[in-house]
Amino acid sequence: MRSRDLLGLVAGALLAGVSSVDAADYGQRPEVGYGKPVADADLVLWNIDIHTPDGANLPAGEGTVPAGKLVYEQKCIACHGEKAAGGPVYGTLVGGIGSMTKSPRVLTPGSMYPYAPILFDYVRRAMPMDAPQSLTNDEVYAVAAYIYNLNGLVPDDFKMNATTMARIEMPNRDAFVRDNRPDTLAERCMSDCKPIGTVADASKPAAAPR
């Protein structure tokens, strides 16, 4: 009995040591819940993110390259320019394939996206920038067909839909690696140190460690 009391005291003191002012329940999950049940059917208009590696959650619908050209010329050209080659507010959406090992890398949906459905997900939620979420699914498929056609990734007679989009082979598919930092292993030198180096210094051979 006594030793248990003592243990309780020690535990209490330890807890107090963690934070001497907070009550014991501060930051602990309360035994209440104020969320109300929501059904999948309530969320059909919200649940629009696409699992882009396999196209899961791509909606029904279809679009062609010529239909996409029409959508593009009505709703996108003002900002992205003729043939998506760059306009007054944004650079090109076309080209750059093969530039990843060069400097600068040219980033476009064609050169950069590892999975084709990224374009559907992004255009549906964010474009046209002045009227996001205003396109029909057919229009999004069509304008995606047009942009990927300009990038040489799909033929002129391509029919873009949930199945065909997920199958497009993207040139940058295998370029991504997951975070593996820390990758710099700097040391805390206090005297007789190497002066602060620049980016240009990094292309010279590394100095022998002191």
Q: Are 133 and 124 in contact (CB under 8 A)?
A: yes
One of 4, 167, 178, 210 touching another protein (CB under 8 A)? 178
The Cα–Cα gap between 159 and 114 comes to 20
Among 2, 4, 29, 167, binds another protein (CB under 8 A): 29
Among positions 4-63, residues that touch ligand HEC (CB under 6 A) are none
Choosing from 58, 67, 127, 162, the residue that interacts with ligand HEC (CB under 6 A) is 127
Footprint (CB under 6 A) of ligand HEC, residues 105-124: 107-109, 119, 122-123
5 binds another protein, rule: CB under 8 A: no
- In the bound state with another protein, the residue whose beta carbon lies nearer, of 70 and 118, is 118
- Tell me the closest approach of the beta carbon of residue 48 to ligand HEC, in angstroms: 16
Count interface residues toward another protein (CB under 8 A): 78
Helix, strand, or coil (residue 69): helix
- Element of type H or E holding 159: strand 159-160
Among the listed residues 48, 78, 100, 106, the single contact to ligand HEC using CB under 6 A: 78
Contacts of 86 (CB under 8 A, 6+ apart): 80, 92, 93
Cβ neighbours of residue 49 under 8 Å, at least 6 residues apart? 57, 121
162 binds ligand HEC (CB under 6 A): no
Distance, CA of 53 to chain centre: 12
Residue 52 near another protein by CB under 8 A: yes
Would you say 13 or 186 has its CB closer to another protein? 186
Q: Are 120 and 144 in contact (CB under 8 A)?
A: yes
Whether the CB-CB separation of 175 and 73 falls below 8 Å is answered with no
HSE toward the beta carbon, residue 118, CA cutoff 13 A: 15
Residue 130 as a binder of ligand HEC (CB under 6 A): the answer is: yes
Q: Give the range of 97-105, 125-133, 165-173, 178-186 binding ligand HEC by CB under 6 A.
A: 125-133
Q: Which of the choices another protein, ligand HEC, none does residue 52 contact, using the CB cut-off of 5 to 8 A by kind?
A: another protein
